[in-house]
């Protein structure tokens, strides 16, 4: 297929409610939507960087810069027979994974649409439905978070993840266990808020039977995590530390984690996400799909990815209503049963994109190509 035209839109979409982690508080989603055109068909991608560089080094500005000056010019007018070629084309670029993923995922959607198959099918997915979990942010008090947990437990989410930070950890987990019992599939995400000096405190989490503790230590570490994992019964899951297939292999071989969170943006797209999935399957490491407060486009890429067989743990792939009053896809992504999303069977991402809604939130737009 020839890539005839590429359009970039920078969107500012209002979140239903602010979302707080150990590193940032967000009240809107600032992202780039990429539309890739071929023969009258359109593939869509969505960037996952935030406005400020506190999750990783990228920002929405750097994503736009990379797309405008490097990625879009390299792809416009090019003939691509498979999206893996896009991943290979951009492999010489150092990092900027979220910028690359925004355009690479659009080509995956376009490719599946041109083949007349679902994105899940194009990726080799095997599930028709996926069990999903929810990620719950930090609030002013433990009671606030417990109330939020209750709301999502009622919606049947299959796994609850709560954000923790120093001073807002053990008491929170204790309160959730007390209120919902030991049967609730529960995990915590620290977003790198702890250090090796906190080992005694992190060990205090062991008796609570958590499914895992996500990214307790530094974003760029896999050495200390291995030492910490030897001290903990609770499995460590890595998020921020895994950018490449080699990172995943190193972490597995060092024993830095027993579970990996795969985020499409963080690893530079669906081709790399699938490679990491395959490696983890081979090495007996379960994976789950992480989220970055995606709108429907990124969310549907996550749903398709989650249909691969080794995504055995419910991910942060919740319904549109988790973050959005209104979504950019039609219909919005909704639970088909409590805690379950259907994997779309229509071509590509499987839902229509509402360009009017996109345009309503667009603050900057750029088109290259005919």
Q: How many helices (H) and strands (E) does the chain have?
A: 13, 15
Q: Which of residues 205-224 bind Mg ion (CB under 5 A)?
A: 214
Query: What is the distance between the alpha carbons of residues 304 and 120, in angstroms, rounded to a whole number?
Result: 4
Q: Which stretch binds ligand OSB (CB under 6 A): 75-83, 166-174, 248-256, 291-299?
A: 291-299
Q: Are strands 259-262 and 236-238 parallel, antiparallel or unpaired?
A: parallel
Told to judge if 163 belongs to the known catalytic residues of this protein, a careful annotator would answer: yes
Q: Smallest distance, Å, CB 220 to ligand OSB? A: 15
* 8 Å CB contact between 26 and 54: no
The values of phi and psi at residue 342, to 5°, are -80, 145
- CA distances to 49, 77, 89, 241, 341 from 102, rounded to whole Å, are 10, 18, 14, 20, 23
Binding of residue 239 to ligand OSB (CB under 6 A): yes
- CA distances to 35, 163, 244, 271, 332 from 91, rounded to whole Å, are 21, 33, 11, 11, 33
Please give the size of the binding site for Mg ion, defined by CB under 5 A: 3
- CA distances to 76, 164, 187, 209, 281 from 229, rounded to whole Å, are 46, 18, 15, 15, 20
- CA distances to 145, 327, 332, 365 from 36, rounded to whole Å, are 40, 20, 22, 14
Q: Smallest distance, Å, CB 157 to Mg ion? A: 16
Identify what 213 binds: ligand OSB, Mg ion, none; CB under 5 to 8 Å per kind: none
Please name every residue paired with 135 in a beta bridge, in sequence order, or none if there are none: 161
Q: Which of 290, 296, 344, 350 binds ligand OSB (CB under 6 A)?
A: 290
| Active-site entry in 29, 113, 161, 263 | 263
Residue closest to ligand OSB, measured at CB: 291
Handedness of CA 207, 208, 211, 217 (dihedral sign): negative
Task: Please identify, using beta-carbon distances, which residue of 5 and 155 lies nearer to ligand OSB.
Answer: 155
Told to judge if 113 belongs to the known catalytic residues of this protein, a careful annotator would answer: no
Identify what 293 binds: Mg ion, ligand OSB, none; CB under 5 to 8 Å per kind: ligand OSB
DSSP code of 344?
P
Task: Please identify, using beta-carbon distances, which residue of 247 and 316 lies nearer to ligand OSB.
Answer: 316
Q: Which of 239, 247, 294, 327 binds Mg ion (CB under 5 A)?
A: 239
Task: Please identify, using beta-carbon distances, which residue of 52 and 91 lies nearer to ligand OSB.
Answer: 52
Nearest to 198, CA basis, from 225, 223, 237, 179:
225
Task: Please identify, using beta-carbon distances, which residue of 135 and 307 lies nearer to ligand OSB.
Answer: 135
| Active-site entry in 29, 113, 161, 163 | 163
Identify what 21 binds: Mg ion, ligand OSB, none; CB under 5 to 8 Å per kind: ligand OSB
Q: Which of 110, 132, 146, 292 binds ligand OSB (CB under 6 A)?
A: 292
Binding of residue 133 to ligand OSB (CB under 6 A): no
Q: Which stretch binds ligand OSB (CB under 6 A): 174-182, 220-228, 275-283, 284-292?
A: 284-292
Binding of residue 316 to Mg ion (CB under 5 A): no
* 8 Å CB contact between 35 and 7: yes
Q: Which of 274, 316, 320, 361 binds ligand OSB (CB under 6 A)?
A: 316
Binding of residue 293 to ligand OSB (CB under 6 A): yes
The count of residues in the chain is: 370
Secondary element (H or E) of residue 272: helix 270-283
| Chain residues that interact with ligand OSB, rule: CB under 6 A | 21, 55, 135, 189, 191, 239, 290-293, 316, 318
Residues forming the active site: 163, 263
Residues that bind Mg ion (CB under 5 A): 189, 214, 239
């Amino acid at each position: 297929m020839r890539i005839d035209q590429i359009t970039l839109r920078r969107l500012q979409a209002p979140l239903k409610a602010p979302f707080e982690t150990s590193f940032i508080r967000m009240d809107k989603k600032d992202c780039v939507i990429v539309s890739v055109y071929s023969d009258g068909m359109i593939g869509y991608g969505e960037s996952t960087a935030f406005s400020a560089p506190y999750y990783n080094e990228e920002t929405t500005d750097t994503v736009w810069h990379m797309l405008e000056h490097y990625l879009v010019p390299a792809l416009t007018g090019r003939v691509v027979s498979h999206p893996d070629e896009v991943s290979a084309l951009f492999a010489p670029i150092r990092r900027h994974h979220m910028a690359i993923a925004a355009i690479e995922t659009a080509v995956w959607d376009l490719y599946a649409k041109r083949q007349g198959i679902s994105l899940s099918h194009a990726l080799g997915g095997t599930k028709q439905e996926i069990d999903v979990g929810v990620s719950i942010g930090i609030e002013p008090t433990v009671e606030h978070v417990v109330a939020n947990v209750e709301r999502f437990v009622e919606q049947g989410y299959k796994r609850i993840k709560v954000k923790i930070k120093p001073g807002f950890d053990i008491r929170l987990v204790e309160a959730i266990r007390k209120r919902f019992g030991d049967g609730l599939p529960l995990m915590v995400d620290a977003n790198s808020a702890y250090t090796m000096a906190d080992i005694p405190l992190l060990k205090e989490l062991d008796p609570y039977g958590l499914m895992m503790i996500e990214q307790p230590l530094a974003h760029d570490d896999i050495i200390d995590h291995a030492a910490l994992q030897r001290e903990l019964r609770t499995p460590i899951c890595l998020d921020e530390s895994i950018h490449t297939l080699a990172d995943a292999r190193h972490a597995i071989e060092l024993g830095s984690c027993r579970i990996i969170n795969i985020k499409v943006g963080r690893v530079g797209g669906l081709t790399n996400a699938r490679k990491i999935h395959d490696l983890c399957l081979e090495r007996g490491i379960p994976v789950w799909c992480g989220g970055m407060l995606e709108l429907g486009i990124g969310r549907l890429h996550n749903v398709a990815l989650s249909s691969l067989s080794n995504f055995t743990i419910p991910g942060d792939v919740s319904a549109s209503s988790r973050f959005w009053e209104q979504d950019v896809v039609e219909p919005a992504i909704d639970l088909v049963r409590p805690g379950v999303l259907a994997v779309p069977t229509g071509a590509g991402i499987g839902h229509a994109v509402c360009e009017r809604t996109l345009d309503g939130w667009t603050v900057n737009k750029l088109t290259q190509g005919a």
